[in-house]
């Protein structure tokens, strides 16, 4: 049995990782400030302790790590709700993240799993697909700046770590990006629009399964969690319409890319496949249908994007 601290444990990625850890018998402490997480995402469990607090509280983080003495920390907590909210982005992603990394270093945590945005490569990536040797240019958004800052602290720490630079992670409990926006607007009978952009949409449970292997010691350093294939945003929209069985199958208006949007963010997953072996990727329609089932029960919680886009309005 492993002892694992999961930050952002009531969010999309954190809650799915925790469910899988509990299923195999691990002892888990989750911390979440409920900015985008939801308490109902995790059922009560004898091996689970949920702490409602912020990782920006250094004393609280030190106390949790010193008491639990975790074998691994899975750091999913992140601020991303508002691209202009530099205060909370830096408070959670930089100050809070540095607190977690520093506590791991000082209390001898042997394994640290981090999650980084593909926007760390900038709004105009120089490679297609993007390789791990691509320079980091996070200046395009507060989210990317703050997440990259914490990744650099992790690299500085000397801890044995894995950082997953992510494609678009979607599925149940997904509260950011085009998927919940499409669902909510279609539900409300409003017009949707798509751009000609392309993205790689990956199912959150596929990521969580790989995270557990990282917790167990597979891999070291930076990896891309990506299927290696991108699809048009139009395909995502069509999958939502199909999952919702919207009468008349309304068409989305096609708009040109915004000034800070990116045509394609496609990550090269070669190293991930080499080190983690056979990684499963759930088909897009199954992923979207699972998300729609969740929204029907719990709602979308809001419509957030990491960038300042018209889609957020």
Residue 30, H or E segment: strand 27-32
- CA–CA gap between residue 126 and residue 164 (Å, rounded): 20
pLDDT in tens, 140-164: 999 999 999 999 999 999 999 999 9
* pLDDT at residue number 81: 85
Global confidence as pTM? 0.94
- Which residues, in sequence order, are CB contacts of 157 under 8 Å at separation 6+? 101, 102, 104, 105, 112
Is the preceding peptide bond at 129 cis, omega within 30 degrees of 0?
A: yes
Query: pLDDT, tens digit, for every residue of 15-65?
Result: 999 999 999 999 999 999 999 999 999 999 999 999 999 999 999 999 999
The whole-number pLDDT of residue 311 equals 37
Cα radius of gyration rounded to whole Å, the chain:
19
Angle at 76 between CA 170 and CA 285, to 5 degrees: 10
CATH of domain 175-200+229-264+283-307: 3.90.25.10
On whether the CB atoms of residues 82 and 43 are closer than 8 A, the answer is: no
pLDDT at 261: 75
Q: Indicate the domain borders of the chain.
A: 3-169+201-225, 175-200+229-264+283-307
Average pLDDT, rounded, for the chain: 94
d(CA 130, CA 109): 31
Q: What is the pLDDT of residue 313?
A: 33
Is 3-169+201-225 assigned to CATH 3.40.50.720?
Answer: yes
Per-residue burial over 128-153, b if 16 or more Cβ lie within 10 Å, else e, is ebbeeebeebbebbbbbbbbbbbbeb
pLDDT at 259: 76
Query: Which residues in the chain come in under a pLDDT of 70?
Result: 302-313
């Amino acid at each position: 049995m492993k002892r694992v601290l999961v930050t952002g444990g009531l969010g999309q990625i954190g809650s799915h990782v925790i469910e899988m850890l509990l299923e195999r018998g691990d002892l888990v402490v989750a911390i979440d400030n409920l900015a985008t997480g939801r308490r109902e995402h995790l059922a009560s469990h004898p091996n689970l302790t949920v702490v409602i607090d912020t990782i920006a509280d250094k004393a609280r983080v030190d106390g949790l790590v010193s008491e639990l003495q975790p074998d691994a920390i899975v750091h999913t907590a992140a601020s991303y709700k508002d691209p202009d909210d530099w205060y909370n982005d830096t408070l959670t992603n930089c100050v809070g993240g540095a607190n977690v990394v520093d506590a791991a270093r000082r209390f001898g945590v042997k394994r640290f799993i981090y999650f980084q945005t593909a926007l760390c490569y900038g709004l105009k990536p120089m490679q297609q697909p993007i390789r791990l040797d691509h320079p980091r240019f996070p200046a395009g958004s507060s989210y990317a700046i703050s997440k990259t800052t914490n990744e650099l602290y992790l690299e500085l720490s000397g801890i044995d770590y894995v950082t997953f630079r992510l494609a678009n992670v979607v599925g149940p409990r997904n509260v950011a990006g085009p998927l919940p926006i499409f669902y909510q607007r279609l539900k409300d009978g409003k017009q949707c629009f798509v751009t000609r952009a392309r993205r790689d949409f990956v199912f959150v449970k596929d990521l969580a399964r790989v995270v557990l292997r990282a917790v167990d010691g597979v891999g070291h350093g930076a990896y891309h969690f990506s299927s290696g294939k991108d699809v048009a945003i139009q395909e995502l929209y069509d999958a939502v319409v199909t999952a919702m069985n919207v009468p008349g199958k309304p068409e989305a208006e096609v708009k040109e890319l915004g000034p800070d949007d990116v045509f394609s963010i496609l990550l090269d997953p070669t190293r991930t496949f080499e080190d983690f072996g056979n990684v499963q990727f759930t088909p897009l329609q199954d992923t979207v249908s699972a998300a729609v089932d969740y929204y029907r029960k719990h709602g979308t919680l809001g419509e957030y994007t990491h960038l300042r886009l018209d889609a957020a309005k």
